Structures are given as C-alpha cells and as structure tokens.
C-alpha cells in the first residue's frame, strides 16, 4: 500500500467528526506511517510515550494474531480512558488508531466507528 493511501485514510477518518483528536496509521513495528491531528490541539502523550504506545500496539497486534483462527480477525477495539477514547482498526498487520474527545456521547462514537469501518475495509 502506497504511503499516499495512509495519508488518505487519516484524512478520510479525521473528516468524519469534529470530535476526532488524532488519526494515524501504525506499522507492524510500531512506526507511525501517517497521521493527522486536529488543529491547535495539544497531544496528551509526549514523543517518547507516543513511541511506547505505538510499540505496544504493534506487539499487541502480533499477539492477537494467535487467536484469529479461533475467534476471527479483529475488526476494531474501543478503549475508554479517563482523558480520551481510542478506537483502533485492523488493516492486516497495520492499525488505524483514532483518538476521540472523552466527553463525546456513545452514540457519536458508534457513528464514528460505523463511518470508519468502510474506509478501513476499502484499504484492507
């Protein structure tokens, strides 16, 4: 998949909702391949912790593959944290990682998920 497709994924995802803080494509080794961040938004993680977060996602993605045969492949994971909500989508061994404002109502998060799934599937 060409790098420009990663940029397109990020821009298409970020256009779904004004509540999306960050959209990024993370490689199988935890490298950030492309991203977009809402303008004038301060990140919650510094560069070092961002690297650790993405490395963690890569390791977790690799481990989850062991269960794919029995449980099926992961379509998305939704995390609710104290400061942010995170959704990640699988594109093979890559992950599309999306952070959303914490105080967004769940129906909006579900709308974001439902809107992201076709984008991710187009690039799978």
The residues pairing with 98 across neighbouring beta strands, listed in sequence order, are 23, 87
pLDDT score at 49: 66
Domain extent, residue 50, equals 3-122
pTM over 0.95: no
The 8-class DSSP code of residue 13 comes to H
Q: 23: closest CA among 67, 82, 60, 123?
A: 123
* Phi and psi at residue 64, to the nearest 5°: -65, -25
- Rounded mean pLDDT of 74-82? 87
Q: Which of 10-19, 23-32, 46-55 has the highest mean pLDDT?
A: 10-19
Number of folded domains in the chain? 1
Tell me the CATH number at 35.
Answer: 3.30.450.30
């Amino acid at each position: 998949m060409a790098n420009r497709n990663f940029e397109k994924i990020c821009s298409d995802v970020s256009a779904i909702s004004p509540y999306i803080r960050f959209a990024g494509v993370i490689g199988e080794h935890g490298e950030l391949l492309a991203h977009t961040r809402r303008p004038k938004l301060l990140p919650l993680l510094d560069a070092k912790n961002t690297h650790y977060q993405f490395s963690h996602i890569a390791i977790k993605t690799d481990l989850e593959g062991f269960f794919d045969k029995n449980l099926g492949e992961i379509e998305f994971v939704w995390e609710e944290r104290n400061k942010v909500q995170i959704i990640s989508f699988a594109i093979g061994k890559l992950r599309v990682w999306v952070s959303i404002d914490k105080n967004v109502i769940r129906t909006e998060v579900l709308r974001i998920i439902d809107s992201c799934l076709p984008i991710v599937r187009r690039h799978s």
